[in-house]
Chain A
């Protein structure tokens, strides 16, 4: 029995979280990949190069466009019994599709795993990452989403998998994709960035993100993030949000500026390799997790930092 990984992709190719999910799956034995979409032959070719995959299944059909959960879950349910585990990264699609698939198979999905103990046993965060639960599944097929930040992604190439097209029947489904409004950015995506500079309530308004954070991020080739407080205050869009209710990130360098360090924010970034905190309140809890803390007024420190880089 093999594990199956559903591979997330976008216009730039296979997403890094998908390569992390594959890394997780490789701990379970032989792994097949699945590419679901419309006009995805080039994605399948990229997938075949991922180390760790022996076979890439391709489901290419107009109904499978736009990552809609209903047709994707229905398709997966048809051949799920060939697999011991079905995994996908905890992306918007993974979180939407995997539980739906699990219910179709009458199994309990296992969300957002951060470690694999054995083929039936997994570790996952609960209570916003304040506790780690080790759970053992008694279901025949394990349907899993993977916390990408917890597994180092496999390389982009080095593999040589065979590509196999699977037949997709027309399905009547009652959901329709209308449009997307994606934030346009030259910056790396938060979940894939090597460096992240995040701002919190201390930024005082949205314009200061552009004026102070962006120049530092530009110098570092970094993604820009925000705390939930900054998002709630309207300083930054929701897809910037780092934390339990936003994105979970683990970059090499995370710079938290004007962020106090609420538990829910720490849950989203505490696996970063190096954490820097810049805050004028020396009692701020963010300093308890920071490798390097700078007690300073961010309005002075950020321009200085930008010059020094």
Chain B
């Protein structure tokens, strides 16, 4: 069984992002970039499926600038077998990403495509669902557990108020939520080995996909800051303030 895993290069989750002065976006020059954390969980899940003997090959795909190769190398060091970079310097929205991934999933004959549930930069939470629609495959989004046997993926999903279990006939798309697993750190020998693993490069046009954005960003602004209030000395004062000043209890 072949797994395709999609990974995105994003501003590292520890970086405090700053909105650019001209309000066109957030500052990314000189900022630490790394793999989208939810995608890292997807890669880890794929590697575990291979270790269990469920999957035979893991192909990792990234769509972005040439530096996204580093993100692919990280996934290769975690245990993926080979990489595909779809190189583009323009903004690629989830719909375009889904179209590119569809082309690759078909070309590679993937049985399962794994992705993070959302990227922590644009927070769209859409690519996996869109890919499943374009492929006409079932989708298991926000997965906290995945098991695959006999052509069926059983996915436990994080939903409002608890968990839900669904069964998907393969091929299928699965998106990873936070509790699916804890990704491993790549060992030095595996990082060295990853350098020799192949990465092929395509352009969006090679895959016959028009990536023209549908959304225009008019502006990016800081959210209105909330002002700090007052410190209260004790519980009695707190209750008094809530009752008589804020009138919320």
A residues at B contact (CB < 8 Å) = 66, 68-70, 73, 91-92, 95-104, 106-112, 121, 124-139, 173-183, 189, 191, 195, 220, 228, 237-239, 244-245, 247, 252-253, 263, 270, 273-276, 282, 287-296, 301, 304-305, 308-309
How far, in whole Å, are A130 and B225 apart by their CA atoms in the complex? 10
Knowing that A100-B133, A305-B238 are A-B contacts, what are 6 other residue pairs whose CB atoms are under 8 Å apart, sorted by A's residue number? A109-B124, A111-B124, A131-B26, A180-B163, A239-B158, A291-B246
How far, in whole Å, are A103 and B125 apart by their CA atoms in the complex? 13
Residues of B within 8 A of A125 (CB): 123, 223
Chain B residue with the shortest CB-CB distance to A273: B248
Interface of B is mostly: mixed
The stretch from B54-62, B65-73, B191-199, B227-235 touching chain A is B227-235
Residues of A within 8 A of B129 (CB): 69, 95-100, 103
A195 and B223 within 8 A (CB): no
How far, in whole Å, are A220 and B239 apart by their CA atoms in the complex? 12
> Hey, what's the 0/1 contact readout for B115-134 against A, CB within 8 Å counting as 1?
00000111111111111111
The 4 closest A-B pairs by CB, nearest first: A291-B229, A99-B126, A103-B130, A175-B138
Interface of A is mostly: mixed
How far, in whole Å, are A150 and B223 apart by their CA atoms in the complex? 13
Residues of A within 8 A of B226 (CB): 270, 275, 288-289
> Hey, what's the 0/1 contact readout for B213-243 against A, CB within 8 Å counting as 1?
1111111111100101111101110110110
A138 and B214 within 8 A (CB): yes
How far, in whole Å, are A274 and B239 apart by their CA atoms in the complex? 13
If A108-B95, A189-B160, A253-B248 touch, whether A175 touches B229 (CB-CB below 8 Å) is: no
Report the minimum CB–CB distance from A124 to chain B (whole Å).
8
B160 and A253 within 8 A (CB): no
If A92-B159, A175-B138, A180-B165 touch, whether A108 touches B214 (CB-CB below 8 Å) is: yes
If A131-B17, A133-B220, A294-B232 touch, whether A73 touches B133 (CB-CB below 8 Å) is: yes
A296 and B235 within 8 A (CB): yes
B242 and A191 within 8 A (CB): no
B249 and A253 within 8 A (CB): yes
B residues at A contact (CB < 8 Å) = 11, 16-17, 19, 26, 93-95, 98, 120-134, 137-142, 144, 154, 157-169, 172, 178-179, 213-223, 226, 228-232, 234-236, 238-239, 241-242, 246, 248-249
A sample of 11 inter-chain contacts (CB < 8 A) reads A96-B139, A99-B126, A127-B17, A128-B120, A179-B164, A180-B164, A191-B160, A239-B158, A253-B246, A294-B234, A294-B235
Residues of B within 8 A of A238 (CB): 144, 158, 178-179
How far, in whole Å, are A293 and B144 apart by their CA atoms in the complex? 36
Residues of B within 8 A of A112 (CB): 123, 125
If A220-B249, A309-B249 touch, whether A239 touches B239 (CB-CB below 8 Å) is: no
A138 and B215 within 8 A (CB): yes
Report the minimum CB–CB distance from A27 to chain B (whole Å).
18
B123 and A127 within 8 A (CB): yes
B95 and A195 within 8 A (CB): no
B242 and A292 within 8 A (CB): yes
Report the minimum CB–CB distance from B175 to chain A (whole Å).
10
A99 and B239 within 8 A (CB): no
Residues of B within 8 A of A103 (CB): 95, 98, 129-131, 133-134
B94 and A99 within 8 A (CB): yes
Residues of A within 8 A of B134 (CB): 103
How far, in whole Å, are A237 and B179 apart by their CA atoms in the complex? 11
Chain A residue with the shortest CB-CB distance to B128: A99
A106 and B95 within 8 A (CB): yes
Give the contacting residue for B216; candidates A69, A138, A237; CB below 8 A: A138
Report the minimum CB–CB distance from B131 to chain A (whole Å).
8
How far, in whole Å, are A131 and B15 apart by their CA atoms in the complex? 13
How far, in whole Å, are A98 and B179 apart by their CA atoms in the complex? 23
Give the contacting residue for A69; candidates B19, B26, B141, B219; CB below 8 A: B141
B223 and A127 within 8 A (CB): no
B222 and A131 within 8 A (CB): yes
How far, in whole Å, are A304 and B132 apart by their CA atoms in the complex? 52
Report the minimum CB–CB distance from B223 to chain A (whole Å).
5
If A138-B214, A176-B167, A239-B162 touch, whether A253 touches B242 (CB-CB below 8 Å) is: yes
